[in-house]
Structure 1
């Protein structure tokens, strides 16, 4: 099942409510349930907040708290690590409220949720380099933050989004570097050169771009292209690591 299908199914489940939350959360007035949900959010009890917000969403889909409940669900899902649900809720909210005053925040949370999909707790603990990991969530996050800066340059989240884009750019550059090294080790010289040159063109101001010159140099040597070797060596002098 691909991501879009999963998101659609999750969005449908949100639209029709979550029976498990209805069973767990007492049947109290919307105002009381909303107050309880806010208390859970403030205390960082994300799972309880999710249960109460889901109950509100299913019981009072057109109530006075409807839009705020959706925004709170996005945040609670994200903090609870329910990233597909966060993204599905963002998709739903954006579709229903395209001109909402907090769309900059929604777009920011979309970027954060995509970015979080690239992280792995065990890899972080053991400091395992996974530059070769699928970069699609990173590309999506980069696009989200870029769109935020383009649409809402004065947003309170713009500065942080720009910083995150810098980190994401390095992540994507390192992925291309790992791919070029993969081709080099398998003696696919042309593929290694092509990936290096694409990296240098797309992310010229990264350390990975400078490192890729070493791979490019070795591939040219293996092909016996002396002129290309000389040009690459000159580039390495101009762009030291």
Structure 2
């Protein structure tokens, strides 16, 4: 077939090129293929699903061999092949556990969170929450570094105790809550000591007051009260220094920090004197009240 076009008033022949013909033939139907380009037909491959119990057993075997990455792959495959089944529920929990065992803590957190989103009322929900909390807890850094992980660990542990108070993981969570709070208090003390050394007494006082306000049951509270006495004395705010030392003596009478606070005041001709309406006194009155109510 010939087509014509006009060029400066003269008709010029234009041939439809071979590739266009081939394309047209290819689009028209793949049965006729003179070029051989479409000779290889697509053959869908049918992959049979592995039985659920077999995948689960293989995942457990990988766990026993400490092949945590291999276990995760098996449980992931089980979750995908048998979505929305009880096998999927079990697989997701085991994925979280395998990642935790393999120290892939962020992956364990994500798997645990997915489990809780899908199965909030499951009998294993408390364990999923425990895995999430412990995955944060295992990543708590030393007190010289940012404590974001400690904050997340504390929140996850507290949620476990609040949502599942009768679970077998609650007692361990309570113990770790105290350790985590102690860690956060230690960070505040570390910063407060730095400001005290730099003679930035107002900034130091703010840090030590935070320790007393938020973490008054940790081992750092005694030192925080002593450091408050020290900072207030340095600023010449003697009434607050006397009050800090008195609160320290009333709540921790055998503490070596109280002996230091008492000696510091004595050097200035002062004695501990508590102001019952003060911020510090109210905090420890509240703590004593909670302890008494708990004992009853």
- Using the size of structure 2 for normalisation, the TM-score is 0.64
| CA displacement at 1:64 relative to structure 2 | 4.8
Looking at structure 2, the residues matched to 171 and 113 of structure 1 have their Cα atoms a distance apart, in angstroms, of: 16
Looking at structure 2, the residues matched to 139 and 148 of structure 1 have their Cα atoms a distance apart, in angstroms, of: 14
Structure with bigger strand share is 2
Query: Which residue number corresponds to residue 206 of structure 2?
Result: 194
Aligned residue pairs total: 206
Looking at structure 2, the residues matched to 216 and 115 of structure 1 have their Cα atoms a distance apart, in angstroms, of: 30
Q: Is the 8 A contact 2:112 2:132 kept in 1?
A: yes
Query: Which residue number corresponds to residue 138 of structure 1?
Result: 150
- CA distance change for structure 1 residues 144 and 184 in 2, over 3 Å: closer, same or farther? same
Looking at structure 1, the residues matched to 118 and 171 of structure 2 have their Cα atoms a distance apart, in angstroms, of: 27
Looking at structure 2, the residues matched to 32 and 175 of structure 1 have their Cα atoms a distance apart, in angstroms, of: 49
Query: Which residue number corresponds to residue 219 of structure 1?
Result: 231
Looking at structure 1, the residues matched to 227 and 235 of structure 2 have their Cα atoms a distance apart, in angstroms, of: 13
**Which structure is larger by alpha-carbon Rg, 1 or 2?**
2
Query: 1:106 aligned to 128, 131, 156, which one?
Result: 128
Looking at structure 1, the residues matched to 86 and 133 of structure 2 have their Cα atoms a distance apart, in angstroms, of: 28
Q: RMSD in angstroms over aligned alpha carbons?
A: 2.1
Query: Which residue number corresponds to residue 48 of structure 1?
Result: 70
- CA distance change for structure 1 residues 153 and 236 in 2, over 3 Å: closer, same or farther? closer
SS at match of 2:220: helix
Looking at structure 2, the residues matched to 44 and 237 of structure 1 have their Cα atoms a distance apart, in angstroms, of: 53
Query: Which residue number corresponds to residue 119 of structure 2?
Result: 97
Which structure's relative contact order is higher, taking Cα pairs within 8 Å and 6+ residues apart? 1
Looking at structure 1, the residues matched to 118 and 85 of structure 2 have their Cα atoms a distance apart, in angstroms, of: 15
| CA displacement at 1:42 relative to structure 2 | 3.3
Q: Is the 8 A contact 2:115 2:125 kept in 1?
A: no
SS at match of 1:207: coil
| CA displacement at 1:84 relative to structure 2 | 1.2
Query: 1:83 aligned to 105, 108, 111, which one?
Result: 105
Does residue 1:159 correspond to 2:171, yes or no?
A: yes
SS at match of 1:65: helix
- Using the size of structure 1 for normalisation, the TM-score is 0.77
| CA deviation vs aligned residue, 1:45-89 (integer Å, no higher than 9, x gap) | 322212222233344434551110000001011111111111111
Equivalences for 1:119-134 in 2 at 5 Å? 119=141, 130-134=142-146
Looking at structure 2, the residues matched to 63 and 36 of structure 1 have their Cα atoms a distance apart, in angstroms, of: 18
| CA deviation vs aligned residue, 1:5-33 (integer Å, no higher than 9, x gap) | xxxxxxxxxxxxxxxxxxxxxx8443322
Does residue 1:70 correspond to 2:92, yes or no?
A: yes
